[in-house]
Amino acid sequence: MSKGRNQHIVPRNGGWAVQPAGGARASSVHDTQAEAIARGREVARNQQSELLIHGRDGRIRERDTHGRDPHPPKG
């Protein structure tokens, strides 16, 4: 399982935020989703946690696990 808190990339006030799971505040806010993903991926790697990327509709569209994956791909 992950050591740190999962990081979510979510839409925020016309930009994109990196927000830790269960956190009330964003750790950073960016103009583009790509910038937020890059920062969120860096944090997730450092914390050995999961990065969850949300679309504009708020639904998770992609996941990226950093650290030990409890469900690694087969093959």
Q: Determine, yes or no, domain membership for 46.
A: yes
pTM for this structure?
0.84
The predicted structure's pLDDT at residue 1: 43
Q: What does the pLDDT read at residue 4? A: 78
**Does any domain span residue 2?**
no
Measured between alpha carbons, how far is 68 from 15 in angstroms, rounded to an integer?
Answer: 31
Segments forming the whole domain that contains residue 43: 7-65
Does residue 1 lie in a domain region?
Answer: no
Q: Which residues contact 24 (CB under 8 A, 6 or more apart)?
A: none
Q: Give SS3 for 50.
A: strand
Report if residue 60 sits inside a domain. Answer: yes
| Assigned domain for 24 exists | yes
Residue whose token pair is 């992609």: 62
The encoded tokens of residue 3 equal 């050591």
Local mean pLDDT, 10-residue blocks, the chain (75 residues): 81 96 94 98 95 96 82 71
Q: Is 18 inside a domain boundary?
A: yes
Element (DSSP H or E) covering residue 9: strand 7-12
